[in-house]
Structure 1
Amino acid sequence: MSLLHPPSHLTPAQALSLSQSAPAVLRSLPSTVGKSSLQAVASPVESPEIWISYENLLISCLRTGDLESARECVRRLVERFGDSNDRVMALQGLVREAEAEDDKKSLEAVLKSYDDILAKDGTNVPIHKRRIALLHSMDRISDAVAGLVALLDFSPTDAEAWAELADVYLEQGLYAQAVYTLEEVLVLTPNAWNMHARLGEVALMAASTGSGGSDSATQKYAAESLKRFCRSIELCDDYLRGFYGLKLATSFVLKNASKWSKQNKSISPEDFALPDTETVQRLAQLATKKLSEIVRRYTAKETHWTGYDEAEIAAARELLAGDEAAIVR
């Protein structure tokens, strides 16, 4: 597997395999790069890929508990970029967090180090994000939200921070706030099909739980969910998560359409209205057909159809089996 592949996308098995090969990988990568013109003559050729490899290897090692290899990666990054580099500082903090494990006192010490850095440079975005992640892991949710709001105050175009804020709101059941923050993500990344699907999921949760407090609010969330799932599959033809969500959303609408009024007049004209029942049924059929195709081709191990996550395929198979069981009854 490539060390240039984003480590967050690796499965636990892939991360373990990469971590186990860390000693050999570290031997194969240059440990130093000349900083002066004379040193550069005798040093290995430097490329951005080398340092991306170190960072990705570091994260995989931390996932599997190989702190020794992670420390070596950080040492080499510090040697090359210095310990005042924003990103290197954040990676050093990440290693300290891993070393602290569940020791609250040690984690508080790491948190204080982040506060000290931000007191000197409040615009250090990587340290802001490490601090927020640490607060979140320590269940200090209100502090994490405050940190995200502060970060977005001076960096309002940070889509990652908006997405993290949406996740924090969602954990607390604040669906309206989560929808709003995900809309901000899409303002910045309008063609991100995964974020359209994520907004569709949150809107469907809001509709399913009746968090709007009225039929008109529920219809509005249901319509938004349909809209976002449709947009996600428009942007990515074979996006399993988009079709899975579309099937759930259409099932929800068809189940509840009979008890809803045609279209509540309190819904403003700029809001997306629910399609008619026939259109929703056609969307449901499309979602079922495409999910069946994806599952069938993945199971047959056809070329270009094996890149799906096994857990998502299993969920799609279970959803389709539920339909078949309902038809048999």
Structure 2
Amino acid sequence: MSTTLLQPPTTASPRTTITLSQQATHFFAAQRTWLTTLPYPLNRLLPTESQEKWLAYENVFLACLRTGDNDAAYTALQALTARFGNDNERVMVLGGLYQEATASSQAELEEVMRSYDEILKEDPTVFALRKRRAALLKSVGKPTEAIGDLIKMLDASPTDAEAWAELADLYLGQGLYEQAVYCLEEVLLVMANAWNMHARLGEVLFLSAGKMEAGSGDKLKTLSESMRRFCRSIELCDDYLRGYYGLKITTDRLLEVLDGVKQKPQVASTSDPVTGDLAPPSLAAVKKLSQLATAKLAEIVRRGSAGEKGWDGYNEAELGAARELLDRDTQKIQR
């Protein structure tokens, strides 16, 4: 079985998703043997009955939906339904996802929503379906209702990191930075070593600082915390492009703010023992971190674009954004 079939296509590049979708016909053909017609429970003793097989079916299903091959997606969904049954929570979610993807009107989407409501009325603990319902509300432009749904779910399951992360995105879309930061901090209580979540929190803090008054102590404190989050993300995952990108833009902005602090000594620049706030970083430390981020980004862009072994997993769009950031920095220096 191809390794690609075992990798979720939801975060894969379009090229990888298309490749996976194109394997669908050959994959289905490879699964058809006379052994699959054996009655239960003999069919559960087959050598082909494995977790990897059904994971591959699910990934093919998701890839086909993304590429618009609804017929192949339906074939995969039928196989999953036959194996696990209509009452399986995961199958219900995938079935709902298929109905959402193939809906051609607002009325059909509302029908999908009603089917979710009926299932949840019978069993409110189907959290995966409740998340799907919240995602549908978000997609049809009802973020407030989606937020309410997720809050209710988190009241019952407060350690669901995925729900906290989705709630953070919804709050961020509404411009509620403080609430988004709180949600991401809850994610990190559950997944302390999730480097991508540290970087995401750094991004939200950076956006929040952009809305604050220039030269204020809160702006300096928020930018400093943003920088620390990006530092933590690259500490946990070396060569993490998004972490170095965030570190670069945050340190560049901090250098501007710290330069302004020199002119305005009344801006708070010490730690607060009552609230536990850390003192802002020194100008020298921020400069070193900026140089580190610049050098590392340049290496990632150079080696990632060349497709060197061990450096070929980067997203092309992210490499392009990093290259553009470095070009702007070079132009600034030349001027």
Residue 293 (structure 1) aligned with residue 299 (structure 2): yes
Cα deviation code 1:45-92 (max 9, x no counterpart) = 300011101111101111111111111111111111110111111111
Structure 1 position 254, deviation (Å): 0.7
Instruction: Say which of 92, 98, 101 aligns to 2:101.
Output: 98
SS of equivalent to 1:3: helix
Taking the aligned partners of 1:34 and 1:60, their CA distance within structure 2 comes to: 29
Taking the aligned partners of 1:35 and 1:153, their CA distance within structure 2 comes to: 43
Return 215-224 or 154-163, whichever deviates more: 215-224
- Counterparts of 1:1-329 in structure 2, within 5 Å, are 2-30=4-32, 32=36, 34=38, 36-40=40-44, 43=46, 45-101=48-104, 103-210=105-212, 215-260=216-261, 261-263=267-269, 268-329=274-335
Taking the aligned partners of 1:172 and 1:267, their CA distance within structure 2 comes to: 33
Cα deviation code 1:223-276 (max 9, x no counterpart) = 110110110111112111111101111111111123332516778541233111
SS of equivalent to 1:245: helix
Taking the aligned partners of 1:272 and 1:29, their CA distance within structure 2 comes to: 58
Taking the aligned partners of 1:82 and 1:151, their CA distance within structure 2 comes to: 25
Structure 1 residues 109 and 295, CA, compared in 2 at 3 Å: closer, same or farther?
A: same
Structure 1 residues 36 and 176, CA, compared in 2 at 3 Å: closer, same or farther?
A: same
Conserved 8 A contact 2:4-2:20: no
Letter in 2 for 1:327: I
Structure 1 position 299, deviation (Å): 3.3
Taking the aligned partners of 1:123 and 1:313, their CA distance within structure 2 comes to: 41
Taking the aligned partners of 1:68 and 1:168, their CA distance within structure 2 comes to: 32
Taking the aligned partners of 1:109 and 1:56, their CA distance within structure 2 comes to: 26
Structure 1 residues 86 and 304, CA, compared in 2 at 3 Å: closer, same or farther?
A: same
- Report the TM-score when normalising by structure 1: 0.93
Letter in 2 for 1:285: Q
Conserved 8 A contact 1:179-1:203: yes
Conserved 8 A contact 2:138-2:146: yes
Letter in 2 for 1:89: M
Count, aligned residues: 326
SS of equivalent to 2:92: helix
Conserved 8 A contact 1:29-1:50: no
Letter in 2 for 1:325: Q
Taking the aligned partners of 2:306 and 2:93, their CA distance within structure 1 comes to: 44
Aligned-residue Cα RMSD (Å) equals 2.0
Structure 1 residues 30 and 163, CA, compared in 2 at 3 Å: closer, same or farther?
A: farther
Cα deviation code 1:183-234 (max 9, x no counterpart) = 0111111111111111001101101121x89812212211110110110111
Aligned identity (percent) is 49
Conserved 8 A contact 2:9-2:16: no
Please, which runs of 5 or more residues in structure 2 have no aligned partner?
262-266
Taking the aligned partners of 1:227 and 1:66, their CA distance within structure 2 comes to: 44
SS of equivalent to 1:237: coil
Please, which runs of 5 or more residues in structure 1 have no aligned partner?
none
Taking the aligned partners of 2:49 and 2:188, their CA distance within structure 1 comes to: 36
